Amino acid sequence: MAAQNQQSRQGDGGFPVVHEAENTSLSPATAPEGTSTDYSPDLAHERTANTNVPVTPGIFQSTYQTPALHRSADAESMGYFTQDPKKQDNKRDPRVPAPGDTREPSSPGDLVRGALSGDEVLRRLSQAASGRRESVADIQSAAPDLALTGNIVSATFTAPHTIKYQSQGEWELGSRHGLSALYDAFVHLSSDEAPWNHSVVAWPGEIECSHKNLDLSVSHDKSSAPELSHLSAPVPVDGDLPPTPPSADGLWISRDHQLKLEQQLAENERFKMVPVWLSDDDEMNDEGITLNDQSRWRHYAEHCLYPLFHYKQQEPSDGRAERIEWANYYRANLKFANKIIEIYKPGDVVVIHDYYLLLLPSMLRQRMPNMYISFFLHCPFPSSEFLRCLPRRKEVLEGLMGANLVGFQSYSYSRHFTSCCTRILDFPSDATGVDAFGNRVEVGVYPIGIDTRRVEELAWTKEVTEKCNALKELYQGKKIIVGRDRLDSVRGVTQKLQAFERFMEMYPEWREKVVLIQVTSPTSIKVQDDSDSKIAGRVNELVMKINGVYGSLGFSPVQHYPQYLDADEYFALLRAADIGLITSVRDGMNTTSLEYVVCQRDTHGPLILSEFSGTAGSLRDAIHINPWDLNSVAREINNALTMSADMRHSMQSNLYNHVANKTVQSWITKFLRKLVGTLASNRIENATPVLDRTNLLERYRAARKRVFMFDYDGTLTPIVKDPQAAVPSERVIQTLRTLAADDNNAVWIISGRDQAFLQQHLGHITELGFSAEHGSFMRHPGSTEWENLAETFDMSWQAEVMDVFQKYTDRVTGSFIERKRCALTWHYRQADHEQGIHAAKAAHHELLSTVAKKWEVDVMEGKANLEVRPTFINKGEIAKRLVHHYGSTSTVTSADGDDKTGGANEGSNVEFVLCCGDDFTDEDMFRALNGLVGTELQNEHIFTVSVGASTKETLAKWHVLEPKDVLESAALLAGVGLTGEQTDSLSQVNLAAVAGLEGRVPM
């Protein structure tokens, strides 16, 4: 039978045949019409039975019923900027750049992408590869507009090898435990079976040293060496304490030896790897690198992210250690981004793996806006109620928004992710993706598999068979239950032992007839949690208790082995087992369950699997249990032991067929195919990445003349119902004052507010410049006089507009009119939302058909307001005026009205412009600044930033979520802390940005 199964899943040449279903919908779906009754969709979450698996307590099938799941199959997906059906007939040609958009495409297919749908691309790929091995030419012909090079760059944090530095610059490579399925995927992509040219970018990990090659600065004076006891320390001379020895972690590696390792990794027979060297900038030079405290680069991921993603809430702390850990996490992701950019070519595909690199997609998008990026998370993703407990929750989610496709192991994880994006970031989402920063981030479920053929080769060697027979003989007459887990709190080892104890109590007839062999390997994750440090002690207590109560002098019902097993021993144990028992309380990918199924192809031992395991949704024929329900687990153990042979055979056959067909090779193939389809179907839209603060700070420091332009409402302060309540906070005032105090900075507030409001709340900062009423009035820094730019314009139109506004004010309770000197604004923030929107549309239409036809005025829809102003007055004219003024003068006006000569600035253009705004009136500034590129400004010197409203189309080059982010960016440049004072420490986010630029964490 095994031979028949093996033969049935191999094609020509003995290679596994990967079958791609034409229906590749990412949302739960039933079988397409016209298919046979044995239809089996490729994605686990598409199977009807899978929705009955309670992966998350309290989450039921009805929870996942969203309008997006019931859309017509042939209906076009609503784009980010096509939410209004009226705009569907007036789409901008993707080959024509937006007005004022000066960004150049960075990939060959940018100008023609969108010609094919994702389903059409997948159909072409399936047809092209039908009956033969897929080639790069097949992929390129299926999606010609993408101009794919055939190169895949896989980014994973830790190298698949353990690396030891030996004498004379020799390097020894070993095998790293964990993530074997991922590394098998790398091997497949690098083999002749895959059509891609594959490279892996990874950190070498903590390099071990087999010889004494520490930093020469380490002192060898015995008087300064640390002692085992303070009582045996040397007596200080003249009252001085002994010097503190340098860290013994410093490992010096010469540049020649670095290059030798890089060459060895590049020529590795399994796959090519490009190392990312992580260290402070002052620890590396042309001669070599010093590696200090190597484990620091993984601290934030393992101390903060790993526990939270596995539903383990940490105790709150003062944040001092987390500040440093976050800065190192940010720097590590930044170094990965720089390394990938070094080897990247337009048309390459970048695949990023796991929670160590959550910021990497956005960092790559900031540098290469049209890069093809995908991300796969190998661990669980928590619900929004857990993720919101993470202080850096917003930055983590923003980091993933840079990907074109985000993949998860389980459907519940993907739903948690989209829910977090909506609840925390306020991004529109549905079951298939998230709309963010003008881009569509597709979300899918892709359960990972294993290399079944390799497992079978390893599991049926002569050595394994001998050890398997020896185990069966050792426990002859007894049923063997096997468990292999890492020793941490999320693997459920204690729950397994407690359930086994309950089983022995409930079913005394099985005493001395069943043995539980539990292997616990050390965890590679070093979390800061007292509970994890107590797990080993708790496990030992349970083992001794069970053996003491239910064992005898000649037999112990629990055999516990806290160690790593050799491959032969491991597969022998899985083959000898009668039951596989996995009681994870939360995990993403559990390869033991898949390997157990393969090893039981002949003996058909049942698999008892926790419903909280990431593989539970895929292995639907396994016996699913809740590890917290000890009585239920005990009953299922008894049911598995007493199960009939026919039932065991049927269960095992279904499980084996699934594991044999859904291999790691088919997983990565399907994931890449979906990415190609996603890229081909996404039309060019004006996507804007999140603001790169490190780049912002670098340009700021290098510039001599700098101009700042800030909108007020929605940019420096949040939008509030009462406009008069939008007063600046003390931090806003202090940050603006510090920023404007620099003689090289010209800081302007360009707002729709009138002069009185700006004068009242910010006028005391004499270094600020102001433009009121959307450019109608100006007040220069150091001056108290307002210049009326609309003085000669006929304002007779205001009477007609006032009549219209008054009519709708009488109709809409809570609305009111704001009369400015050059504009009229009708506000409905305090009115009923739906009534206000309906009335605003009607008033807008009436004004366009009457006043706008008679007078040169603009009728503008704002945030809960409608404004009419003269056409020639707008913020864009002010922006151009300021750039021209400061670029043509060599003096800076001081607060007292005197002119200070800026010697360094004489005869130079403006070298830095930061312009931030939140609504359509600020688009005039963005358009004007884009139009000055090449004449008065350089493109890299302009930072136009759109604030909030992620669904809107914008001409800005960057995006931030809320006014708080604008203030954080200004505080970063001013060098001030949370209160706006320079004596305060930088915020955690700004500290990371400074560390990314300076190459070290500033103390």
Instruction: Reduce the secondary structure of 930-960 to three states and give it as a string.
Output: HHCECCCECHHHEEEEEECCCCCCCCCCEEE
Report residue 30's pLDDT band, with 50, 70 and 90 as the boundaries.
very low
The pLDDT of 464-476, averaged and rounded, is: 94
331 pLDDT more than 90? yes
Q: Provide the H-helix boundaries in 203-281.
A: 255-266
52 pLDDT more than 80? no
Residue 41 to residue 21: CA distance in whole angstroms: 7
Task: Quote the pLDDT of residue 758.
Answer: 92
Average pLDDT, rounded, for the chain: 80
Give residues with Cβ within 8 angstroms of 161, minimum separation 6: 173, 174, 175, 176, 204, 205, 265, 268, 273
Q: 958-960 and 197-203 as β-strands: parallel, antiparallel, unpaired?
A: unpaired
Residue 537 to residue 547: CA distance in whole angstroms: 16
Task: Quote the pLDDT of residue 211.
Answer: 60
Whether the CB-CB separation of 487 and 536 falls below 8 Å is answered with yes
Residue 403 to residue 788: CA distance in whole angstroms: 47
190 pLDDT more than 80? yes
Whether the CB-CB separation of 185 and 450 falls below 8 Å is answered with no
Place of tokens 């500034």: 925
Name the helix (H) or strand (E) containing 888.
helix 875-888
Residue 68, strand partner residues: none
The pLDDT of 393-406, averaged and rounded, is: 94
Whether the CB-CB separation of 617 and 589 falls below 8 Å is answered with no
Place of tokens 């007779």: 796
Task: Quote the pLDDT of residue 414.
Answer: 94
The pLDDT of 954-982, averaged and rounded, is: 88
Report residue 979's pLDDT band, with 50, 70 and 90 as the boundaries.
confident
Whether the CB-CB separation of 380 and 357 falls below 8 Å is answered with no
Place of tokens 């119902």: 721
Which residue type occupies 829? R
The pLDDT of 603-631, averaged and rounded, is: 91
Residue 489 to residue 307: CA distance in whole angstroms: 10
Give residues with Cβ within 8 angstroms of 464, minimum separation 6: 458, 568, 571, 572, 575
264 pLDDT more than 90? yes
Task: Quote the pLDDT of residue 894.
Answer: 41
Return the structure tokens found at 942.
């302009």
- HSE of 381 in the Cβ direction (CA atoms, 13 Å)? 29
Residue 801 to residue 626: CA distance in whole angstroms: 67
Residue 370 to residue 563: CA distance in whole angstroms: 47
- What is the per-residue pLDDT across 91-121, written as a single tens digit (0 to 9) for each? 344 334 444 444 444 443 343 344 455 666 6
Residue 555, strand partner residues: 552
The pLDDT of 374-386, averaged and rounded, is: 93
- HSE of 64 in the Cβ direction (CA atoms, 13 Å)? 25
User: Strands across the sheet with 706-710, in order?
Assistant: 787-788, 777-779, 769-772, 745-750, 706-710, 912-917, 942-947, 958-960
User: 717 or 244: whose pLDDT is higher?
Assistant: 717
- What is the per-residue pLDDT across 907-923, written as a single tens digit (0 to 9) for each? 468 999 999 998 888 88
Report residue 985's pLDDT band, with 50, 70 and 90 as the boundaries.
confident
Specify the range with the lowest mean pLDDT, choosing from 24-38, 716-730, 889-903, 967-981.
Answer: 24-38
Candidates 1000, 975, 862; CA nearest to 924 is 862
Compute the CA torsion angle 331, 335, 336, 339 (nearest 10 deg). Answer: 170
Residue 993, SS3 per DSSP: helix
Whether the CB-CB separation of 749 and 717 falls below 8 Å is answered with no
Residue 570 to residue 639: CA distance in whole angstroms: 25
Sign of CA dihedral 683, 689, 695, 697: positive
The pLDDT of 400-408, averaged and rounded, is: 94
Candidates 572, 583, 630, 586; CA nearest to 607 is 583
Task: Spell 582-593 as b/e; 16+ CB within 10 A means b.
Answer: bbbbbbbbbbbb
Whether the CB-CB separation of 776 and 873 falls below 8 Å is answered with yes
Phi, psi of 717 (to 5 degrees): -135, 150
- What is the per-residue pLDDT across 545-568, written as a single tens digit (0 to 9) for each? 999 999 888 889 999 998 888 899
- What is the per-residue pLDDT across 769-778, written as a single tens digit (0 to 9) for each? 999 988 888 9
Residue 827, SS3 per DSSP: strand
Residue 631 to residue 56: CA distance in whole angstroms: 20
- What is the per-residue pLDDT across 847-903, written as a single tens digit (0 to 9) for each? 888 888 888 788 888 778 888 887 777 899 899 999 999 987 654 444 344 444 333
Specify the range with the lowest mean pLDDT, choosing from 137-151, 264-278, 399-413, 762-776.
Answer: 137-151
Spacing of C-alpha 945 from chain mean position:
21
Residue 396 to residue 394: CA distance in whole angstroms: 5
Phi, psi of 442 (to 5 degrees): -75, 145
- What is the per-residue pLDDT across 213-228, written as a single tens digit (0 to 9) for each? 444 433 334 333 334 3
- What is the per-residue pLDDT across 795-839, written as a single tens digit (0 to 9) for each? 788 888 888 999 899 999 989 888 877 778 898 888 888 898 899
Residue 621 to residue 604: CA distance in whole angstroms: 13
Burial grade of 1002 (CB within 10 A; 0-12, 13-18, 19 or more): exposed
Sign of CA dihedral 966, 967, 968, 970: positive
Place of tokens 């860290």: 247
Q: What is the DSSP letter of 560?
A: E
- What is the per-residue pLDDT across 583-595, written as a single tens digit (0 to 9) for each? 988 887 888 999 9
Name the percent of the chain lying above pLDDT 90.
50
Residue 464, SS3 per DSSP: helix
Task: Quote the pLDDT of residue 524.
Answer: 63
Residue 908, SS3 per DSSP: coil
Return the structure tokens found at 807.
């009519």
Phi, psi of 501 (to 5 degrees): -60, -40
Name the helix (H) or strand (E) containing 324.
helix 320-343
- pTM attached to this predicted model: 0.78
